[in-house]
Copies of this chain bind each other. A is one copy, B any other.
Amino acid sequence: MVIVGGGFGGLWAARALAGAEVDVTLLDRRNHHVFQPLLYQVATAGLSPGEIASPIRWILRRQANVTVLLGDVLAINCDAKRLRLSEGAEPGYDYLIVAAGARHAYFGHDDWRAHAPGLKTMEDALHIRRRVLLAFEQAERLAGAPDGGDPEGLLTFVIVGGGPTGVELAGALAEIARHTMRHDFRRIDPSKAAIILVEGGPRVLPAFSEPHSAFARGALERLGVSVRTSTMVTAVDGAGVTVRAADGSESRIASRTALWAAGVAASPLGAGLSAHTDRAGRVRVRPELTISERDDVFVVGDLATLAGPDGQPYPGVAQVAMQQGAQAARNVLRRLAGQPMRPFRYRDYGNMATIGRAKAVADLGWLQLRGYVAWLAWLFIHVLKLIGFRNRASVMLQWAWAYFSYQRSARLITDDEESR
């Protein structure tokens, strides 16, 4: 059988097949699995790529029934039961688990992508890191007009989207500007940087309770982030962002660095796989996680959409992807054993988001935490979930160092194309 994707869904599917009498081929475009909840730390120079990513084949090295191949799946032919890869090969499958994930959606404005990069892959994170660091470098180089404000928006950062990623990016950027870089510049004052978080809905962190949202907003504002809720983005270009407030008035924010943390579009593989997709391109799956056209094809994670017992679709988070991947794998094994498949049931372990240094909100269902205790819980859980001992130890060390020194370890601009 074949698994497409080495993210949380695909990897947990492969793990659930450990020891089973099946030959598994796992295909991914990249050689590494990324611990996505910490990607924003790479984007803001707090962690190095190697600390939150590991080679997929290394993670699965002890699982002799899994072959990991680097490959980009262009299309799936369900009739012929074959995949088509970019380099021309056409491997077949008997069972297929598709966990190809999602990218960012720009509400139909794909031209915004170049000006407001999203944060889904390691390349995205390194690109954002470069953009942010270069903005400060350029501001220092061009500084001269004494206290001329920031007319060109070099030190104005706009983050679009007030979900966990947007909140985490905004908090980390504020910390960099106010603390990390405090002594590093001679002509500019990095603490004067403007960090603006734009959210279309009435509050940040809409998936959390209202008190959590209010707490997060207050914490961000104390860090110096300007939070604009009920505000829609109507244009993005290289010089800035245009927004429309709730009262319908439009205004322009001069900014050279906009970051996109809103909107999700499923992998285009979904559309080729099934006619039943939702607006974001997610494939509507049956409770057993198969598609309605084929019961040998499973779709899991961000590429799938399935309503829970409350009628609401499951959220696009790592926990859902992991549990769906494992369930799809178990359903394959049940079919091979002649048993009926079982429907997916989600165990919700809760929801967390961190805000800058040493603050977080956590909604664990039975327990609501805010502030320092929530941050400790966040720290503990994320370090626990990182794959491999080395990564854990290294991340702990970085964080201890960052906490006591306010420094960030990975402030490197590395890219021939853009580094000058």
**A: which residues have CB within 8 A of B?**
29-32, 48-51, 53-55, 57-58, 61-62, 64, 66-72, 86-87, 89, 122-123, 126, 133-134, 137-138, 140-141, 183-187, 389-391, 393-394, 397-398, 401, 405, 407, 409-416, 419-420
Contacts and interface: CB of A to CB of B under 8 A. Distances in A.
Nearest to A180: B58
A32 B412 contact: yes
A123 B32 contact: no
A219 to B, nearest CB: 26
Nearest to A405: B390
A32 B183 CA distance: 16
Nearest to A64: B186
A54 to B, nearest CB: 8
A63 to B, nearest CB: 10
B409 A57 contact: no
Q: Which 4 A-B pairs have the closest CB atoms?
A: A50-B410, A48-B48, A61-B183, A48-B50
Contact of A184 (B61, B394, B407, B415): B61
Contact of A72 (B72, B398, B401, B420): B420
Contacts of A67: 140, 186-187
Contacts of A401: 389-390, 393
A133 B397 CA distance: 27
Contact of A122 (B50, B64, B412): B412
Contacts of A86: 420
Contacts of A412: 31-32, 49-50, 53, 55, 122
